[in-house]
Amino acid sequence: MKKIYLSALLACVATVAAAQLPLVFEQENTGSLYAWPVLRLPGELPVVRELPDALEGVNDFGDWERRRNVIGALIQHYGIGEKPAVKPGQVEARMEEDTLVVDVTVDGKTLTLRSTIHYPKTGSAPYALMIGTSMLSLPFQLFEGRPIATMTYHEKQVNDYGQWGEHHERGEHNFDRLYPSLKDNGAYSEWAWGLSRLIDGLQLLGPEATKIDMSHIGVTGCSYAGKMALYCGAFDERVALTIAQEPGGGGAAAWRASYETTKNVENLDKTDYHWFLESQKEHFHGDSVYRLPYDQHELCAMVCPRALLLLGNPDYEWLADESMRISAEAAVKVWERFGIADRMGWSIEGGHPHCQLPESQWPEVQAFIDKFLLGRDVDTSNVRK
């Protein structure tokens, strides 16, 4: 009887402890005080055929901040390039009617970001906010009648690379004017930097000026912008909810798993290298992918303990959704370790065009929005398919 009571008591304590883990943070990077780990030359890295252990050296949640910082350093150094931190006084912000304007000044050069906030017709300020990377690809019905503001992050204000139309090359983007030493960066580090500056602006002005609740900010996007949303959410802990819709290779899909499939998928050898460091392909192409000291499940895990939802569409083979499922099943172990597995889910469902979320997936997405942007008591523990 005593053993049963003790077991029940320990389970109760664990549940309470998990519930007390933060859903979001007030800092962009809580691990910023940690030094980067020693980073080996690519040829000196060991061959690791299995997905690396995201929880290496983690015994409890107190260790996660350090481990998360290690993962972030690896991704920046070998994959996308450095996301530079800004110093106090380098960011200024103002509201021009409903448009947020953020000026970032580095070494006398200024980059300006503008984004209009669309406020809901229900509820009262401060409102939760969903930011769409490039555009808000989720159906408007998911936000209609809910007290959630929306905003588009115009990433071309930072790095205007696009797969179609004219664009600048490395070294010529607005970001590069501020950080010429980082001209070799991939777009995803620069785009993640830009979204963080918008959040800086919201934070500086406060809810009285912006009408935005800083503790309930989400980010979402689809396809290349689904990758963007994932990098933005992973690298800024002020984002409470990240929804990556059909992100494809280089997003949530594990590079190793995509290399091993016989299908025509976006893998490390076959992706757009405007998005990544060109050295990533040079050093980790082909069998060398097994020397990559991280994989994309660890990018997903960087969102923990915050909320993450991955959405797939297997009708489009290129998206590598089988690899994304492998990655998701590995990443969720981090949330499970801390007893908060209901904060991470995935839904892979076909029968619809690319970036056109079918109504059959609406309830799962709605549940994550309601729970993590509106704080409603909703069950998200079974969004795994």
Report how far residue 58's alpha carbon sits from residue 128's, in angstroms, rounded to the nearest whole number: 32
Which residues form the domain of 351?
Answer: 2-372
Angular region, 371: left φ>0, alpha ψ -120 to 50, beta rest: alpha
Q: Which tokens go with 172?
A: 């010529």
In a domain, 379, yes or no: no
pLDDT tens figures, 266-288: 999 999 999 999 999 999 999 99
In a domain, 377, yes or no: no
For the full predicted model, state whether its pTM sits above 0.85. Answer: yes
In a domain, 380, yes or no: no
Q: Note if 283 is an active site residue.
A: no
CATH for 173: 3.40.50.1820
Structural domain total, the chain: 1
Share of the chain above pLDDT 70, in %: 95
pLDDT tens figures, 37-88: 999 999 999 999 999 999 999 999 999 999 999 999 999 999 999 999 999 8
Candidates 115, 134, 196, 223; catalytic one? 223
In a domain, 45, yes or no: yes
Q: Note if 258 is an active site residue.
A: no
Confidence of residue 14 (pLDDT cuts 50, 70, 90): very low
Candidates 167, 274, 352, 354; catalytic one? 354
> So what's the pLDDT on residue 164?
76
pLDDT tens figures, 111-157: 999 999 999 999 999 999 999 999 999 999 999 999 999 999 999 99
Confidence of residue 2 (pLDDT cuts 50, 70, 90): low
> So what's the pLDDT on residue 9?
33
Across the range 324-338, mean pLDDT stands at: 98
In a domain, 171, yes or no: yes
In a domain, 382, yes or no: no
Whose tokens are 């969720």? That residue is: 332
Confidence of residue 12 (pLDDT cuts 50, 70, 90): very low
Residue 23 CB partners (closer than 8 Å, separation 6+)? 215, 240, 305, 306, 307, 343, 372
In a domain, 190, yes or no: yes
In a domain, 384, yes or no: no
Is residue 211 scored above 80 in pLDDT?
A: yes
Confidence of residue 165 (pLDDT cuts 50, 70, 90): confident
pLDDT tens figures, 79-91: 999 999 999 899 9
Q: Are 348 and 66 spatial neighbours (Cβ–Cβ below 8 Å)?
A: no
Report how far residue 243's alpha carbon sits from residue 345's, in angstroms, rounded to the nearest whole number: 10
